[in-house]
Amino acid sequence: MARKALKLASWTSMALAASGIYLYGNKYLDPNDFGAVRVGRAVATTAVISYDYLTSLRSVPYGSEEYLQLRSKIHDLFMSFDDTPLGAASLAQVHKAVLRDGRTVAVKVQHPKVQSQSSKDILLMEVLVLAVKQLFPEFEFMWLVDEAKKNLPLELDFLNEGRNAEKVAQMLKHFDFLKVPRIYWELSTKRVLLMEFVDGGQVNDRDYMERNKIDVNEISRHLGKMYSEMIFVNGFVHCDPHPGNVLVRKHPGTGKAEIILLDHGLYQVLTEEFRLDYCHLWQSLIWTDMKRVQEYSQRLGAGDLYPLFACMLTARSWDSVNKGISQAPVTATEDTEIRNNAANYLPQISQLLNHVPRQMLLIFKTNDLLRGIEATLGIRASASSFLNMSRCCIRALAEHKKKNTCSFLRRTQISFSEAFSLWQISLHELMLRVKGLRLPSWAVALLCWLFPAPH
């Protein structure tokens, strides 16, 4: 029995280590998907729809008399309803339907008994994590349990998801490339969410983009702008950008590429202090100010592990961080080095994750998912994408300074400094494009001397 327990604990430790650290193979342990019970439930869920306002989420056997009665009730609401889900996950599944007034909608339905089962799953998770800690004290994963306890109730409240969707749509309304499906509140409850149906291909489907003449690099730039705005400017971050939740399409009216953002159950709200420190840190990383990299990494809880922290944030080696992440291109050798070193530094990574602010954990996950999309599409963050991040940081820091001064002269100075910094970035971006052209080396050198990179 002891041997079996030890084997289970060892397996759990390896599973946590292999899945919990984003540097290692682009796999990330999502606390909300943990537990064999939930996985089994997701697989076993039938195509039967159990509406909160019709059946109190009872499980109805497919083809039974009760199922047929339910179907007749559903037809009172819908002109048509697809039994086969468009997608199913651990907490819910989504079906396509047409309302009586002709609107095509997506219906997200929470699985039966998921509310009552979730507390048991978290308890199971806590027991396993404690068992791992007893056997391997250097591995600290209790933060997984804490995050699950905090986030799961929010994800199970579909009205909260609807409010998040409306908030981010308003927040990013100036991005004409972003589409957030409209919520139909009159037919939504805590366990059933009706929204506008919007079709598209998954963001990691390169073949779909090629067939529909969608520029992969343009989509990557749009994603970068969108998430930089969420993280650095607004501090309200969609934390589940896996390919099933990020679709792309050609807008039916304009023909322009468009990103469709789905599943708004999991958001991270950043405190102002965290957001500003994070802005300063990324500015320091982009412009290779290593003294400030150390300072702001330590302000964010990294301590003496700040080099590891910087590598985890950027997914680059420490050598590349020192050379400049916007200067040194990623090589296959560097990728291999990062993967190999991740296994060697698992105890330190575990320690770091246990000490950084909890807000950072979902940021790590979000960064990892976005990089996973880039890797699948065969692209990597370019210097241009780092400059877009820098623009957002400059705007966010300037806005904070203006908000905290009463002097008109001081606000004017801050606005001028902001405009000048943004102008420098635009010039630097122009220089990067010029370097891409086949100009004589003396001409490139002269332009670099006239328009140096901003600091």
Provide the annotated active-site residues: 240
Token pair for 249: 């399409």
CA-based nearest residue to 261, from 343, 349, 200, 336: 200
Contact present, 50 and 57 (Cβ < 8 Å): yes
Cα–Cα distance for residue pair 389/281, rounded to 1 Å: 11
Q: Report which of 180, 161, 160, 162 is spatially closest to residue 170, judged by C-alpha positions.
A: 180
Please list the residues that pair with 250 across neighbouring strands. Answer: 257
Copy the structure tokens of residue 14: 């390896």
Nearest Cα neighbor of 219 from 438, 370, 24 is: 370
User: CA dihedral defined by 70, 75, 78, 79, rounded to 10 degrees?
Assistant: 150
In this structure, what DSSP letter does residue 244 have?
A: G
Structure tokens at 395: 């705007």
Backbone conformation region of residue 93, classed left if phi is above 0, alpha if psi is from -120 to 50, else beta: beta
Pairing label, strands 178-179, 257-261? parallel
